[in-house]
């Protein structure tokens, strides 16, 4: 009985450690002409999941951007409106803007959502971790691509 309990605790601990460090190992990508043309994953992005990430604290996009068709009176205005972003950028260009916007603008206020090194103003508990996983990036991009004029 104690052995089974010990094994359950050990397995749950290992799952916790794996999930807590999942953002540490980033997938390599190539930037071509200010875009990351290839997906970070082999799984297509899910627009519904992407929208949930965008409007949640996980993505926190509402803090800086106006987002069409979202009912929230506390939308930001520091960054550009996301209305029509699906017309303005390709999937690869959107991917780069989320992964590492500093490639486009070194003084950007937008955080790099898929970067874990050479970051500034990062709390120690987040050092070495990306904000979003590769699949979350793909989900957000798939939703942003639906925002057309």
CA 148: distance to chain centroid? 20
C-alpha distances (whole Å) from 139 to each of 52, 109, 121, 129, 145 are 9, 22, 26, 19, 10
Residues in the chain: 149
Contact of 26 with 99, CB cutoff 8 Å: no
Domains observed in the chain:
2-144 (1.10.760.10)
C-alpha distances (whole Å) from 132 to each of 25, 58, 72 are 12, 8, 22
Structure-token match 């029509």, residue found: 84
Helices (H) and strands (E) in the chain, counts: 5, 0
What is the pLDDT at residue 23? 52
What is the pLDDT at residue 71? 80
- Say yes or no to pLDDT of 37 above 80: yes
Share of the chain above pLDDT 90, in %: 54
Q: State the Cα angle at 141 between 65 and 146, rounded to 5°.
A: 80
Which band of pLDDT confidence, cut at 50, 70 and 90, is reported for residue 12? very low
* Average pLDDT for 29-48: 96
Of the candidates 92, 90, 142, 97, the residue with the CA atom closest to the CA atom of residue 115? 97
Contact of 21 with 125, CB cutoff 8 Å: no
What is the pLDDT at residue 11? 44
Choose the most confident range, by mean pLDDT, from 10-14, 36-40, 69-73: 36-40
What does pTM read for this prediction? Answer: 0.80
């Amino acid at each position: 009985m104690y052995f089974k309990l010990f094994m359950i605790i050990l397995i749950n601990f290992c799952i916790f450690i794996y999930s807590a460090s999942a953002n540490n190992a980033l997938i390599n990508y190539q930037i071509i002409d200010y875009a990351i043309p290839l997906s970070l994953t082999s799984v297509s992005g899910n627009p519904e999941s992407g929208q949930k990430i965008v409007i949640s604290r996980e993505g926190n996009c509402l803090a800086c951007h106006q987002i069409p068709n979202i009912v929230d009176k506390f939308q930001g205005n520091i960054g550009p409106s996301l209305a029509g972003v699906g017309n303005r950028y390709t999937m690869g260009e959107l991917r780069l803007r989320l992964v590492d916007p500093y490639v486009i603008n070194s003084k950007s206020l937008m955080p790099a959502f898929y970067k874990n090194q050479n970051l500034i103003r990062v709390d120690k508990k987040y050092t070495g971790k990306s904000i979003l996983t590769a699949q979350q990036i793909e989900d957000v991009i798939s939703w942003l691509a639906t925002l057309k004029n």
